[in-house]
Amino acid sequence: LDLGPVEYPAGEHRLQHPYCLWFSKRQTLVRNPQVQATEGYGQSLRLVGQVATVEQWWGLYIHVVRLHDLPQHTDLHLFKKGIRPMWEDPANSKGGKWVIRLRKGQVGRAWENLCMAMLGEQFVTGNEICGVVVSIRYQEDQLSIWNRTASDQATTARIRDSLKRLLNLPATATMEYKTHNDSLK
Amino acid sequence: GTKIVYERAFLMNLRNSPISK
């Protein structure tokens, strides 16, 4: 679960934080739903790569399967290196997420903008951002942005306003904030 | 140190740089 130290080749544009890209697919063969909800999730997570410069990001991104070619119930997670994209991670345990629901076909551009907004430090919230997720589902797709402190309403409001400004979301998109505690229930 | 901030247009420019291919 570790790809080793990050590299900063000369001449490349360093990011503020290194990030890891993860892939997960919902397991369909697990019979016990509780196992699927907890252990199954961790086991289905795969670390795809890590990036520490803008050039490394594009080198990885252009090789990732296009979102509209991904099967249903798959997720891509781009998280700061050292934070696993799970509620149980200490960075996430008191956190929450803004969830944006989009009609099929609308998520690709918004996901790209969301990744770039995070990598480029466009969310002015100190070190609150943990990572972003795109979830491919049956009728609609979802984007999520996870932050550390769900109870910090000033921060969550600032993230919401930044999302609206940066993602150029279609009018049909809906947004709601969920604490990870709510999601666990 | 100084926080490293990049705007979308700058990042998109680098997308097509030879080093990322």
Q: What is the mean pLDDT of residues A27-43?
A: 57
B2 CB within 8 Å of a chain A CB? no
Average pLDDT, chain A: 91
Picking from A126, A114, A128, A94, the residue whose alpha carbon sits closest to that of residue A162 is A114
Average pLDDT, chain B: 86
B3 CB within 8 Å of a chain A CB? yes
At position A55, the amino acid (one-letter code) is: E
Exposure string for B1-21, b = 16+ CB within 10 A, e = fewer: eeeeebeeeebeebbeeeebe
Distance from chain centroid for Cα A61: 14
> What whole-number distance in Å separates Cα of residue A102 and Cα of residue A140?
6
pLDDT of residue A25: 92
Q: List chain A residues with CB under 8 Å of B17.
A: 55, 58
Helix, strand or coil for residue A5?
coil
Specify whether the CB–CB gap between A108 and A64 falls below 8 A: no
Picking from B3, B6, B21, the nearest residue to A54 by CB comes out as B6
A112 CB within 8 Å of a chain B CB? no
| d(CA A7, nearest CA chain B) in Å | 15
In angstroms, the Cα distances linking A1 to A84, A94, A116, A151, A172 are 10, 23, 24, 30, 38
| d(CA A184, nearest CA chain B) in Å | 34
A60 CB within 8 Å of a chain B CB? no
pLDDT at A12 exceeding the cut of 80: yes
pLDDT band at B20 (very low <50, low <70, confident <90, very high): low
In angstroms, the Cα distances linking A103 to A136, A172, A183 are 11, 8, 22
B15 CB within 8 Å of a chain A CB? yes
User: Given the structure tokens 């200490």, which residue do they identify?
Assistant: A90
ipTM value for the complex: 0.89
Length of chain A: 185
pLDDT at A65 exceeding the cut of 90: no
> What whole-number distance in Å separates Cα of residue A111 and Cα of residue A144?
9
pLDDT at A1 exceeding the cut of 90: no
